[in-house]
Amino acid sequence: MGENVLIIGASGDIGLAIADQLASEGYQLLLHYNKNRKRIDDFKNMLEKECLLTVIQANLSNDEEIKKLLNQLVFPVDYIIFASGAAHYGLFQDTKEQVMDDMLTLHVKAPWMITQYLLPTMIQKNTGKIIVITSLWGDIGASNEVVYSTVKGAQNSFVKALAKEIAPSGISVNAISPGYIETKMNNHLADDEKAALISEIPINRAGLPSEVAHTVRFLLDQRSSYIQGEIINMNGAWK
């Protein structure tokens, strides 16, 4: 069988598409989720048993839950995919401190802690890949999504800086920055709002989770190892 891949946020639309793509390529999966156990169970039922190593539940906006996840990582991890996330919509001046804390922990501290925990083994083996699914807003920012834009920007900086630090150890760190992707994260938008967004995108459609998954697979290929510290935009030439 192939290498072991830890997918953080595997029950989301993008995370599940990544898991499906990698399972079909022979990778062995360690799947993390927070709330949607049924979606994970349904996916498990479609898999060959040897493809799935473990399933771990944890709310990564909570420090203790992050530690709980780390304590359950009993299998070696060759690659890490960070696909979890939560949006927050609203005026910045109305944003509560608890929301700020939760968003920072989920998007910034959790990737820090998980990566820090797994890095020593990767460095010892002189191999590994880390991929973060960030967002277009992490680069250009979005009104009414100030906190989300901020933490996604922090993820981009994390990728660029860590890549410089650990590239000499044979480990690559990159990000994929999607624009408008057809996922449940956009369910708050009315049909006319979605149509207005799509009208601004030169390719004239939303992106698909499967397209993000395909790019993840490309980055995991050893022939892509010279790509280091990059934020790969997937936005249909939108912004």
| Predicted local distance difference test score (pLDDT) of residue 179 | 94
Tens of pLDDT along 21-53? 999 999 999 999 999 999 999 999 988 878 999
Strands of the sheet containing 128-133, edge to edge, are 52-57, 28-33, 4-8, 79-82, 128-133, 171-178, 231-234
| Predicted local distance difference test score (pLDDT) of residue 157 | 98
CA atoms of 1 and 22, how far apart (whole Å):
12
Residue 197: closest CA among 142, 128, 122, 131: 142
| Predicted local distance difference test score (pLDDT) of residue 169 | 97
Mean per-residue pLDDT, 53-71: 97
Average model confidence (pLDDT) for the chain?
95
CA atoms of 62 and 109, how far apart (whole Å):
10
- List C-alpha distances in Å: 62 to 9, 89, 121, 155, 185: 15, 20, 25, 18, 21
The gap from C-alpha 230 to its chain's centroid, in whole angstroms, comes to 15
The reply to whether 27 belongs to the active site is no
Tens of pLDDT along 192-225? 888 888 999 999 999 999 999 999 999 999 999 9
Say what the pTM is: 0.95
From the list 27, 33, 79, 148, the catalytic residue is 148
| Predicted local distance difference test score (pLDDT) of residue 175 | 98
Domains annotated on the chain, with CATH: 4-234 (3.40.50.720)
Q: Does residue 76 surpass a pLDDT of 90?
A: yes
Tens of pLDDT along 145-192? 999 999 999 999 999 999 999 999 999 999 999 999 988 777 777 888
b/e burial code for range 12-43 (CB count within 10 A of at least 16 → b): bbbbbbbbbbbbeeebbbbbbbbebeebbeeb
